[in-house]
Copies of this chain bind each other. A is one copy, B any other.
Amino acid sequence: MSLDLTLHHFPLDPASRQVRLALGEKRLAFAEEQVRYWERPASLVKMNPSGLTPVLCVGTSRDPLVLCEGRAILDYLEETHPEPPLLGRDPAERAEARRLMQWFDRKFDYEVGGFILHEKMEKRLLGLGAPDLASLRQGREALRGHMLYIDSLLADRDWLAGSRLSLADFAAAAHLSVIDYFGDVPWADFQAVKTWYMKLKSRPAFRPLLADRWPGLAPAPHYDDLDF
């Protein structure tokens, strides 16, 4: 593999984590640049006008192909490096994986991340003061609903979108893993979800995520424990 890849990402960004998991699962080596996106660095905005991570640069020339936004990067990787397939083998299977990606990237992100990560992470990064307890409670209550939904999927399936590991699992795990960094996932009450997450956590692609640490933000003690 002579392709040169550089990922610009923030370690605790769920969208960035999905791309890191896909790159790992496809065994694509990549250089990485960590980006403090909340400071809106000019170098990031120049690559991606939305100012968001992740950004994947392909090629080392002075004029690399710049890929922006998580879904676009994941689809690009799937099209250009189809093995192993992470979106399913027929259109119906892929539609189910994509439905769930949307679920986690929009609904989960809005109802859970928008409260828990905003209160515990973004406010800290931006220097906006202490977490609001009512907002945290709202995020935690929504999280229980999502855990129940994941649990219901796993009652009939080995993986979230069906019989095969897919980007739906990575979407869910990316969002959950950042919440877990802050210790807010009620694993004990959802054994099937915990078992599914343990399987993901022990994959080689997951290891770099478990090694993530951000200055001033300490992870929960069990965060990188494979047998939590």
- A residues sitting closer than 8 Å to B (CB atoms) are 48-50, 65, 67-73, 75-76, 79-80, 91-92, 94-96, 98-99, 101-103, 107, 149
Query: What DSSP secondary structure best describes chain A's contact surface?
Result: helix
Tell me, in angstroms, the Cα distance from A116 to B88 when the chains sit together. Answer: 38
Tell me, in angstroms, the Cα distance from A69 to B107 when the chains sit together. Answer: 11
Judging by beta carbons under 8 Å apart, are B149 and A72 in contact? Answer: no
User: Would you give the shortest CB distance from A9 to chain B, in whole angstroms?
Assistant: 16
User: Would you give the shortest CB distance from A215 to chain B, in whole angstroms?
Assistant: 28
Contacts of A94 in B (CB 8 A): 72, 75-76, 79
Q: Would A102 and B65 be within 8 Å (CB), given that A94-B76, A94-B79 are in contact?
A: no
Interface pairs (13), CB distance under 8 Å:
A65-B92, A65-B95, A67-B95, A67-B99, A69-B98, A69-B103, A71-B101, A71-B102, A72-B96, A73-B95, A75-B95, A76-B91, A79-B91
Q: Would A72 and B99 be within 8 Å (CB), given that A107-B50, A149-B49 are in contact?
A: yes
Tell me, in angstroms, the Cα distance from A1 to B214 when the chains sit together. Answer: 55
Tell me, in angstroms, the Cα distance from A96 to B92 when the chains sit together. Answer: 25
